[in-house]
Amino acid sequence: MDKISLMSLEQLEHQLPLAQNSLEAVELELEALMALRDANIIRVAAMTARLATLQQEEEGTKLSRIG
């Protein structure tokens, strides 16, 4: 921030488009990472549900063997 306050008008006019392009690139990467996060949340939820189902089935099998 200190460097920005020392920049001339010409320097700012030159640097601003570069900074905006850099920001857009970061935003695109962030969107991609958020999509990966969302996909992994769904995957973990599906795996958790499947695990619970298998555990219930296993418990049911054990109980039927005992009874």
SS3 7: coil
In which domain, by residue range, is 28 found? 2-66
What distance, in Å, lies between the first and last C-alpha atoms of the chain? 74
What integer pLDDT is reported at residue 67 of this predicted model? 64
pLDDT tens, N- to C-terminus, the chain (67 residues): 789 999 999 999 999 999 999 999 999 999 999 999 999 999 999 999 999 999 999 998 878 887 6
31 CB-contact burial (10 Å; exposed 0-12 / middle 13-18 / buried 19+): exposed
- Predicted TM-score (pTM) of this structure: 0.67
Say how many domains are in the chain.
1
What integer pLDDT is reported at residue 46 of this predicted model? 98
Give the pair of three-digit tokens for residue 34. Answer: 């958020």
